[in-house]
Amino acid sequence: MKAALLAQDGSVLFEARRPTGREHGPDAVVAAILDFATDLAHEGRSRFGVAPLAAGVAVPGTIDEENSIAVFSANLGWRDLPLRKLLGERLAAADGSAMPVALGHDVRSGGLAEGRLGAGRGVDRFLFVALGTGIAGAIGIDGRIEAGAHGYGGEIGHVVVRPGGLPCGCGARGCLETLASASAVSRAWAEADGDPAADAASCAAAVDAGDDRALAVWQRAVDALADGIVLAQSLLDPSTVIVGGGLAEAGDTLFTPLRAAVTERLTFQMPPKVVPAMLKDTAASLGAGLLAWDLLSMEVTA
């Protein structure tokens, strides 16, 4: 877990990290979140003499943003968790009033932070793509994230780029994340290399060393990712595509062939800038802070 105290202008006042404790079950994870938030509030009071005005939390999985409920997370094991209520009560003021709490999806929150504080700053239309265990995305429009009618906007990882291909956890076959996520590259490289411990980082290193087997694995992933980006370009027409997540840590080993593959596939579409994310693994926690400030702004407006 990553956390931060965030000023209204987006500047970071304090940062901290803790393990989720997920090996002890979902109840332990919830307790860890509540304890972490409580300690962060104490940190704010001791450092700055005032309590935080609101809290934001970004979680993986499926969420109900309107009702601030964490609906489901396969990795953390919870279902229908009323996180806003739990955090608001834990962080209640001395008079017993609950603290305002905003709940967001981790990747969309990361995209919000990249749009306002990172690689998308000043960009009116962007697509944020996170290449991690899976692939998720966020659609940025004028400093906000478009979640879609049902909260699934930006799910580029489940765009089918190879019909009839590998089965995906979502139930479809040939989804982008079965080919271009860090875990997909790790699996393909482990098979090609014959080493069960081989991963995406070692594949990138082998690509840099000129290993033909690694080059083939890497190019398959790059081609699939380029197909997904071009599909998104045709539908959304973003001016910039921001690529983050663990696989983006490969730098030019990823971005040089990816930019070339995207350009080769474009016909009438205007080419987007394809750039690395700037905020790394702090993006979601910063985005959670921005959601909290946005929540306060809406309450003032109302």
Assigned token pair, 9 = 């202008």
Q: Domain check: are 207 and 184 in the same one?
A: yes
pTM (2 d.p.): 0.92
The CATH number of the domain holding residue 144 is: 3.30.420.40
Assigned token pair, 167 = 């089965």
14 assigned to some structural domain: yes
Q: Domain check: are 87 and 184 in the same one?
A: no
What's the pLDDT score for residue 151? 81
Q: Domain check: are 211 and 293 in the same one?
A: no
Q: Domain check: are 124 and 272 in the same one?
A: yes
CA dist 203 and 69 (Å) reads 38
**Mode of pairing for the β-strands spanning 62-64 and 69-72:** antiparallel
Residues in the chain, how many?
Answer: 302
What's the pLDDT score for residue 300? 64
71 assigned to some structural domain: yes
Q: Domain check: are 77 and 159 in the same one?
A: no
What's the pLDDT score for residue 199? 96
112 assigned to some structural domain: no
Q: Domain check: are 268 and 158 in the same one?
A: yes
110 assigned to some structural domain: no
Q: Domain check: are 124 and 196 in the same one?
A: yes
Per-residue pLDDT of the chain (302 residues; tens, 9 = 90+): 999 999 999 999 999 999 999 899 999 999 999 999 999 999 999 999 988 999 999 998 888 888 889 998 877 888 999 999 999 999 998 778 889 999 999 999 999 999 999 999 999 999 999 999 899 999 999 989 998 888 889 999 999 999 999 999 889 999 999 999 999 999 999 999 999 999 999 999 999 999 999 999 999 999 999 999 999 999 999 999 999 999 999 999 999 999 999 999 999 999 999 999 999 999 999 999 999 999 998 876 65
Provide the residue range defining the domain that includes 40: 2-105+282-301
111 assigned to some structural domain: no
Q: Domain check: are 233 and 193 in the same one?
A: yes
48 assigned to some structural domain: yes
196 assigned to some structural domain: yes
23 assigned to some structural domain: yes
Q: Domain check: are 266 and 157 in the same one?
A: yes
**Per the structure, how many domains does the chain have?**
2
Read off φ and ψ for residue 194, nearest 5 degrees.
Answer: 80, 15
Assigned token pair, 12 = 């970071």
What is the Cα gyration radius of the chain? 20
What's the pLDDT score for residue 62? 85
Q: Domain check: are 132 and 32 in the same one?
A: no
Q: Domain check: are 19 and 91 in the same one?
A: yes
